[in-house]
Amino acid sequence: MFVRSLLAMSLSYLMLNTAFAASNAEQPLTPKKVASAATIQDPINPLALDTKAASEVMGDEHTASNVVSTAASDVSSTTAASEVQISQQEQKNLNQVTKTVKTIDQGSEKTTAPTKNNAARNAWTLDNLNNIQWYADIAKGQFPVYARAQVMLNNNHASPGAIDGSSGKNTLKALASFQQMQGLPTTGELDQATWNALVATQNKPAFIEYTLTEADLKGPYAKSIPSDYALQAKMPGLYYTRVTEMLGEKFHMDEAFLKQLNPKATFNKVGEKIIVTNIRNNLPEDIHLIVAHKGAKQLYLFNDRNQMIGSFPATIGSTDTPSPTGTYKVVGATKNPYYSYSPSNFVQGKNLKPLTLPPGPNGPVGNVWIGLSKRSFGIHGTPNPSLISKTASHGCIRLTNWDANDLASKVKAGVTVKFLE
């Protein structure tokens, strides 16, 4: 679906509380406390947690004590909707972001040959990945300069999705978001000014050498994940199926790209050293407003000063199962949830009876669920991170598992989620 309305115009209507098509019940920028997520019937039960399975799935980073529901969290906001203002420059920049993203989506992802074949510049070594500099006439395709840029974008909360070293649409959209946040022309191109701004924010190398641990190899891992929900429901957990899949998610990398950077690695030896990204996960500020832009296939995050503080590539509904319209509230976030399948929502295969699927990163909603005040809709992860914004969903907002966890760590009950076309 292409962009049918300007993001800037829509956001200014929303933030200024003017004549946007919203019901009287919608209070987008002054959310009140949400009593409980129990009043919302989501496709998962946000309070049904197997803490043992959850801690096993996530490893040391997410112990059982961390797997909690935040449905009863308060949102402290003293900013009234009538007080929220957006500057002319901010509106201009948002206008340009929308225009740029539309152009990116309409374009192709064809590669172009570099004007000069510089073998040293195109080497996939740790030294080159960390020291590659911007150069004129960067070709389209997979090059170390894009790999370093993707890590820097990720660390500035303009997520490119799965890091793969390429100039794909998610990367170009992330560039446009970063440019808007930095007050640069939102071209969606990796120009020198954008590169300089990215480098100026970094105080660590983009790639590092990582040593495989016993915990990495131990898992737990599943031999495979069947596509049939009935078979998934019989499994102890929807775990990762291989070490490279787990490492790809841990370091926000496309699994094939991880293997490409480490052609001699076996990924089955404790102490083996591999090249991975040097990423960070947590957003810098609490989130005041989430804009789910269907046409842009992006989730835009704003603070209470109407400043964009992050963006994620997203899969938002489909033609057959469209996402909702209007404004809703976050009711809570749950890590490693059970998934309650109901054929009344959609029919998967030949499964005509309700099923309960165990937790795990390869579950239908990944390893995190952020419930909305709209029955059966939420923001969640995915078992297929490289397909985000490239496929359809059953109406929810689908992010990579790491972006969904990043969001869940900061979002609070009562935060506004606005769907735009």
Q: Percentages helix, strand, coil for the chain, rounded to the nearest 5? A: 30, 15, 55
**Residues 6 or more apart whose Cβ sits within 8 Å of residue 339:** 43, 44, 356, 357, 363, 364, 365
Distance CA 171, CA 343 (A): 36
Largest CA-CA distance found in the chain, in angstroms, rounded: 61
Please give the pLDDT value at position 64. Answer: 26
Distance CA 147, CA 163 (A): 7
Mean pLDDT for the stretch of residues 212-240: 97
CA distances from residue 228 to 234, 297, 315, 344, 363 in whole angstroms, order as listed: 10, 28, 22, 17, 12
DSSP state of 234: T
Instruction: Give whichever of 90-99, 249-258, 277-286, 294-303 has the largest mean pLDDT.
Output: 249-258
User: What tokens appear for 304 in the block?
Assistant: 């209470």
- Model confidence at 63: pLDDT above 90: no
Residue 255's identity, in one-letter code, is: E
Q: Where are the alpha helices (DSSP H) in 205-310?
A: 214-218, 229-232, 243-250, 255-261
Domains of the chain (ranges, CATH numbers)? 7-87+283-420 (2.40.440.10), 210-277 (no CATH)
pTM check: above 0.95 = no
Cα 269 from chain centre: 31
Residue 248's identity, in one-letter code, is: G
When the pLDDT of each residue in the chain is averaged and rounded to a whole number, the result is 78
Tell me: the pLDDT tens digits for 283-334?
877 788 899 988 889 999 988 888 899 999 999 865 555 667 889 999 999 9
Tell me: the pLDDT tens digits for 116-158?
667 888 999 999 999 999 999 899 999 999 999 999 999 999 9
Distance CA 268, CA 182 (A): 42
Polymer length in residues for the chain: 421
- Model confidence at 38: pLDDT above 50: no
Of 21, 16, 31, 32, give the one whose Cα is nearest residue 419: 21
Strands in 139-284 per DSSP E: 207-211, 273-277
Phi, psi of 408, deg, nearest 5: -60, -30
Distance CA 374, CA 105 (A): 28
Please give the pLDDT value at position 319. Answer: 53
DSSP state of 207: E
Tell me: the pLDDT tens digits for 379-392?
999 999 988 877 65
